[in-house]
Amino acid sequence: MAPSEPARLAQVMAIVNRTPDSFYDRGATWGIESAVARCDEVVAQGASIVDIGGVKAGPGDAVSAAEEIDRVVPLIQAVADRHPGVTISVDTWRADVADVAIRAGASLINDTWAGWDPELMEVAGAHRVGYVCSHTGGVTPRTRPHRVHFDDVVADVIAETGALAERAVSLGVPEEKVFIDPTHDFGKNTFHGLELLRRIDEIVATGWPVLMALSNKDFIGETLARGVGERVAGTLAATAWSAARGVAAFRVHEVAETVDVIRMTAAIAGTAAPLATVRGLV
């Protein structure tokens, strides 16, 4: 029986990188026409958030703030014009980039480097846009973790992201537009990543909507001994586990597959109805 008042399904945040050196797509959406086409595709597949980035997360060539703006702003403007009902997120740790991106149409700041630029959150608050509070353990942007240690990684994530969320609200970010992100692989090893999944219910229990960026990450590759192009099954398994435990949004490369996983998980739980039931009913 379909529920009388279905719970809201987890949102899907689609990754679209205007970078020539992305670890996963290897520059597939570097060209503006390819990037716009990809945005059209992911919206059609069910993404309600499009996350646009202009700098590779890991080590690589230096990208100035001006170059980052040149990469992301034309795409943000195009998506805002073509898909006015979609939330546009900008993946940046720089306040000046965020300010220009918001003026171009972004309404969510995905700060994957945990407030490295202290003015970034102030920009979000001044514009009253959404903000993703992440956890990196203090790692410098675009560096890889080395022999990291936490007495309790889950407790550390809850403390750091919770403090950032409270500060964001105090600066003017609407409370309902705040996400917290455990931030797999950033300042963490594979064992930390698995522990975060194992105890994700504790993070969900904070009451802040949880965003998880699991898609094809190294902790999945190391767990399964799979290369970058062979991690989709592991990603979707981790997604199903997390969706069943109340995670609010997933940042992903494979949008259609993630939408199916979220809906199937919700249908099993009885919080979403099947979409096309005829077998045995007619």
Which domains does the chain carry?
A: 11-269 (3.20.20.20)
Asked if the model's pLDDT at residue 4 lies above 80, the reply is: no
Q: What is the spatial distance between Cα 154 and Cα 21, in angstroms, rounded to a whole number? A: 31
229-266 pLDDT, tens digit each = 999 999 999 999 999 999 999 999 999 999 999 999 99
For residue 1, the model assigns a pLDDT of 31
Q: Which residues are catalytic?
A: 217, 251
Asked if the model's pLDDT at residue 224 lies above 70, the reply is: yes
Q: What is the spatial distance between Cα 161 and Cα 167, in angstroms, rounded to a whole number? A: 10
For residue 96, the model assigns a pLDDT of 97
Asked if the model's pLDDT at residue 273 lies above 70, the reply is: yes
For residue 145, the model assigns a pLDDT of 84
For residue 170, the model assigns a pLDDT of 98
Q: Are 47 and 40 in contact (CB under 8 A)?
A: no
Nearest to 63 by CA among 24, 17, 28: 17
Q: What is the spatial distance between Cα 156 and Cα 78, in angstroms, rounded to a whole number? A: 39
For residue 25, the model assigns a pLDDT of 80
Q: Are 50 and 16 in contact (CB under 8 A)?
A: yes
> Which residue has tokens 């979220």?
262
55-94 pLDDT, tens digit each = 998 888 899 999 999 999 999 999 999 999 999 999 999 9
Q: Are 153 and 188 in contact (CB under 8 A)?
A: yes
Q: Are 50 and 17 in contact (CB under 8 A)?
A: no
Average pLDDT on 82-109 reads 98
For CA atoms 55, 51, 235, 156, give the dihedral sign: positive
Q: Are 76 and 41 in contact (CB under 8 A)?
A: no
Q: Are 209 and 178 in contact (CB under 8 A)?
A: yes
For residue 5, the model assigns a pLDDT of 41
For residue 7, the model assigns a pLDDT of 64
Helix, strand, coil percentages in the chain from 3-state DSSP, rounded to 5: 45, 15, 45
160-219 pLDDT, tens digit each = 999 999 999 999 999 999 999 999 999 999 999 999 999 999 999 999 999 999 999 999
Q: How many CB atoms lie within 10 A of CB 181?
A: 26
117-173 pLDDT, tens digit each = 999 999 999 999 999 999 998 888 988 888 889 999 999 999 999 999 999 999 999
The stretches of the chain forming alpha helices (DSSP H) are 32-45, 65-82, 95-104, 118-127, 153-170, 190-198, 200-204, 218-224, 232-243, 255-269
Q: What is the spatial distance between Cα 53 and Cα 133, in angstroms, rounded to a whole number? A: 16
pTM score of the predicted model: 0.94
Percent of the chain with pLDDT over 90: 87
Q: What is the spatial distance between Cα 131 and Cα 128, in angstroms, rounded to a whole number? A: 9
